[in-house]
Structure formats: C-alpha cells, structure tokens
Amino acid sequence: MSSANSYEGVLLIDKPDGMTSHDVVDKVRHKLKMKRVGHAGTLDPNATGLLIILVGKATKLSQFLMGLDKTYEGVITFGVATTTQDVEGEVVSEQPVPELSEDQLKEAMQTFVGDQYQTPPMFSAKKIDGVALYKLARKGKTVEREPRFIHISSFTLDKWETPDMEFTLSCSKGTYVRTVANDLGEKLGCGGYLKELRRTDIERFHIEDSIELETFQDLPVEEIKGWLIPSYQAVPSNAI
C-alpha cells in the first residue's frame, strides 16, 4: 500500500444531502489514513454538490481557492418563510402566492443581479465575538449583523410551476443563496424559502469532474491518486 504521506492534491467530491462539509473531510481522512485534509468552502448540510477537498500539502492552497465564484442550481418555494430561510427551519409565516408570470419573476430576479450588501442570516456559521450565529439563534436570540459585500453575476429562471421555482445562480464568495430566496419571497410579497440547493461549479472546477463520496469511499487504494488534481494544475502557477 502507498504511504499515506504520498497523497497530495485537490479532490473534487460530490457531497450528499444530510452531511456537513466537515463530515466529508473526516470521511476522506479516514479513507486516506491521514490528518492533513481540509476543504475550500463549505456547503450547508442539506445542500449537495461540488466540494473542493484539499489533501496533504495542498491544504495551503485554501487561500487561493476560497474566493472563487460559485454556481448553484436550486428550488425556491414561495408562500412560506422559515426561521433558517431553507427547508430545515420552522415555518414563521404562510401567505398565498400571487399569480406570477415568468416575466414578472424574471423582472424581480434581475433586481438581485450585481454588486450589493447582504445581511448574513442568524442561522449561519458566521461568528460574532467568537460565537457562531446559529448557536445564538437556537436560543431565540437575534443580534445585529454587519452586511457583507457580495456580487451576483447571474440569476436565471429555469422552471416555474407555482409555488416552486427552479433557478440557476452564479455569485461571489460569501453569498447566502437561502437569503436570496428569502429576500425574493419578500419582494414578491408572499415569502419564500430555499427548498433545494446543488453547487455545480466553482469557477474552473465542475461537478462533472467530481466523484460521489460513497464511490470514493469504495475506491481501491491504487485508484485514489487518479482522482487527485496536482496543486500546480489547481491554481495559477504564480500562486505556488
């Protein structure tokens, strides 16, 4: 068997539903029998899709990969707002969904494209004074959050069948897609939450080039290196 220390590079994993990004890191650590494994950008537990895993010396590439733009596909359900702005939360309001045409939806969606400030949701891992916001939210507390500068480069309607809207969104680092869903619902006057989310692209990295976590775990040891992208290919040559 190859030495564990010989594993190095970027691994593209298709994260399953119901698992944290750190859970995926732990699975990879166990498979490779090494501790030096990290990731370059989290996905919420109920989101699926592309997760960049950094193995061995490639963990130092995090600073070059965390800030890449990302593309998501998802479903927003209108008429309901939740505490977490997604399917995991408790319902806080229900309102009838107005009869909306695709053109009306597209017009509302277009207002979210471009540079803007977005307030992080209370149910998030962002820390204030060293405490994760979601821990405060679970205690029923709400604190002031400083809006973050983000950029949404595109927000397109893929399918509309009331009350669900399928969409594709491309955005900068730090964008909360579930907050976009919530805010779009508010703009339409009926509320909304993120029902499904899947990350398909992180700039030059694509879901088509990833491996499902379960498949990776069953992978013969001799095939693992074939899935590792060398560090010099993962980032610009002048960055390492």
CA angle 57, 35, 30 (to 5 degrees): 120
Q: Rounded to an integer, what distance in angstroms lies between the CA atom of residue 138 and that of residue 90? A: 11
Q: What is the CATH number of domain 4-67+205-239?
A: 3.30.2350.10
Q: What is the pTM of this model?
A: 0.91
Tell me if 200 sits within 8 A of 73, measured CB to CB: yes
pLDDT value, residue 130: 79
- Catalytic positions, written as ranges: 44
Q: Rounded to an integer, what distance in angstroms lies between the CA atom of residue 205 and that of residue 234? A: 9
Give rounded-to-5 percent helix, strand, coil for the chain.
30, 35, 35
Domains 4-67+205-239 and 70-201 share a fold: yes
pLDDT value, residue 80: 98
pLDDT value, residue 1: 39
Instruction: Identify the H or E element spanning 25.
Output: helix 21-32
Q: Across the 240 residues of the chain, what is the mean pLDDT of every consecutive 10-residue run?
A: 68 96 96 95 93 96 94 98 93 96 98 95 77 76 86 98 98 96 97 98 97 96 93 73
Q: What is the CATH number of domain 70-201?
A: 3.30.2350.10
How are beta strands 192-202 and 48-55 bridged, if at all? parallel
Instruction: Identify the H or E element spanning 78.
Output: strand 70-78
pLDDT value, residue 240: 53
Per domain, the residue ranges of the chain are: 4-67+205-239, 70-201
Tell me if 89 sits within 8 A of 83, measured CB to CB: yes
pLDDT value, residue 142: 82
Helix orientation angle between 177-187 and 102-110, rounded to the nearest 10 degrees:
120
